[in-house]
Amino acid sequence: MGGSAGTLTPTALLYLGLCQGLWDQARTGTLPKPSIWADPGPMVTKGSPVTIWCQASLQADVYYLYKESVHGSWPMKTSQDSSNRASVSFASMSSHNSGKYQCAYQRGKSWSQGSDLLTLVVTGVYDAPSFSANPTLVVASGGNVSLSCSSPWPRGSFHLLKEGGADVPQYLELTFRRKRYQAVFLVGPVNTSHGGTYRCYISPESYPYLWSQPSNPLHLQVTGVYREPSLSAQPGPLVQSGDSLSLLCRSETGFDRFALTKDEELRAPQCLDGQPSPNFTLGPVSRSHGGRYRCYCGHKLSSTWSAPSAPLDVLITGMYEKPTLSAQPGPSVSWGENVTLQCRSEVLFDSFHLSKEGSLAPPQVLHLQDTVIPNQVKFTLSPVTSDHEGTYRCYSSHSNSPYLLSQPSDPLELLVSASNSQDYTVENLIRLGISALILMVLGVLLFQAGHSQRRPQDAART
């Protein structure tokens, strides 16, 4: 067999080889079977070193290594630090070293059972296959994802591996498209154990232990594992073109990684690039920053994430000429009455937005069905309370670009005054309170007077 074995220690070996018959005897021995493993692992890149170890629970006189389909065995070098462990090393892994190995040991005239089989694979022999995910590598817990591995090799096997050695699914189907064979691996329903980095390999049918170079890695991320955070904008979701904006992802304590996505409805995120800070700075903002944002939180060095936050719309203003804003019947209104704020544009728009200064709520939006110039919409506030008092502005936009708004209208100050009926109500409440207090005092006085009259009568009877 090819490859170079480590230097053998003559005093540690009793035999330099075994014929097939003696090996069969060794594999059916009575002593406990040894364990076998490869260091650094059973998958070895072509040209890299590898060591095969065999270890017994008893002190052995000699170890033997056997390779499947090769008649004969190699005596193994006894390790210097332990008499019950031996090794054979290959300085440069080659195709000839790949295959299935087994080891056994001899103690006196007794033989051990053969160890479990060790499959030694050499990688990097052929070109890497291509590897992709459908629909995306960011998958909600309970969802599914398909991993596709493709290659022009006509006959062979596809292998899916996950970092950490976790179990992976067998491929669901094998198809031939565009002169390439493709194996599809279905992963799901997804849970936390599925998160991690995957690669695929190919091997020819006639050489099953000679594998290709690894494909490009795919990092699968699982969302919905933790409670969703909240996403807010400072100073607010309306931002003038050229200014800056901060998006803050608030979550439960203990998270140290945060990710921000944009327009998930249009395209699902291909990956979540986390950062240690929950604060995301946008700016100077331009047209491209307008959109719908969500955030996620997670832990460092983990492939699991929270559920997405509620969406936050970032609106970029200053794109078009400003509309005008007016109040009907006027900017001063009494408590409980109705007021209409009219937003009007001399340019063709089909959407209008009304915002209140200092409000955390998103702007109200109205859409026009008939686009006849001048365009105008009416926002009705009814019934008016003190909460409606404040400064208002309106904006115009096109429905096909909902996150790009015009310049703000001139501010409109809405004043809410107390109504006459409200004044009367307060006065009546005060009067009722005073009357109730007077009645209570009179009741106490009458009770005391009646009680004092009973005392002489009770004394006379006695």
Do 353 and 406 reside in the same domain of the chain?
yes
Q: How many domains does the chain have?
A: 4
What integer is the mean pLDDT of 332-341?
94
> pLDDT per residue over 259-312, tens digit each?
999 987 777 788 888 899 999 999 899 999 999 999 999 998 899 999 999 999
Do 154 and 213 reside in the same domain of the chain?
yes
pLDDT value for 415: 95
CA 93 to chain CA centroid, nearest Å: 39
Q: Tell me if the bond preceding 363 is cis, omega within 30° of 0.
A: no
Do 135 and 83 reside in the same domain of the chain?
no
Q: CB–CB of 54/99 below 8 Å?
A: no
User: Distance between CA 255 and CA 171 in Å, rounded?
Assistant: 35
> pLDDT per residue over 37-58, tens digit each?
999 999 999 999 999 999 998 8
> pLDDT per residue over 160-210, tens digit each?
999 887 667 776 667 777 778 899 999 989 999 999 999 999 999 889 999
The answer to whether residue 95 is domain-embedded is yes
CA 183 to chain CA centroid, nearest Å: 26
Domain end residue (candidates: 222, 246, 280): 222
> pLDDT per residue over 202-234, tens digit each?
999 889 999 999 999 999 999 999 999 999 999
Do 15 and 106 reside in the same domain of the chain?
yes
Do 131 and 118 reside in the same domain of the chain?
no
Range of 65's domain? 10-123
Do 119 and 28 reside in the same domain of the chain?
yes
Could you write out the DSSP letters of every residue in 132-173?
EEES-SEEETT--EEEEEEES-SSEEEEEEETT----PPPSE
Do 236 and 283 reside in the same domain of the chain?
yes
User: Distance between CA 328 and CA 330 in Å, rounded?
Assistant: 5
Let me know the angle formed at the C-alpha of 309 by 308 and 313, rounded to the nearest 5 degrees.
120
Do 301 and 218 reside in the same domain of the chain?
no
Domain end residue (candidates: 185, 202, 222): 222
DSSP 193: G
pLDDT value for 416: 93
Do 260 and 345 reside in the same domain of the chain?
no
What is the C-alpha end-to-end distance of the chain, expressed in Å?
130
Q: Tell me if the bond preceding 129 is cis, omega within 30° of 0.
A: no
Give this prediction's pTM: 0.74
The answer to whether residue 59 is domain-embedded is yes
The residue that leads in pLDDT, 41 or 452, is 41
Domain end residue (candidates: 222, 246, 278): 222
The answer to whether residue 294 is domain-embedded is yes
Q: Which of 215, 212, 198, 209 is nearest to 153 (CA)?
A: 212
The answer to whether residue 311 is domain-embedded is yes
Do 282 and 341 reside in the same domain of the chain?
no
pLDDT above 70 as % of the chain: 82
The answer to whether residue 438 is domain-embedded is no
Do 301 and 397 reside in the same domain of the chain?
no
Average pLDDT of the residues of the chain:
85
Do 311 and 330 reside in the same domain of the chain?
no
- Phi, psi for 429 (deg, rounded to 5): -65, -40
pLDDT value for 40: 94
| CATH number of the domain that residue 84 is part of | 2.60.40.10
DSSP 422: H
Whether 154 has a pLDDT exceeding 60, the answer reads yes
The answer to whether residue 425 is domain-embedded is no
CA 263 to chain CA centroid, nearest Å: 16
Strand partners, 90: 50
The answer to whether residue 235 is domain-embedded is yes
The answer to whether residue 112 is domain-embedded is yes
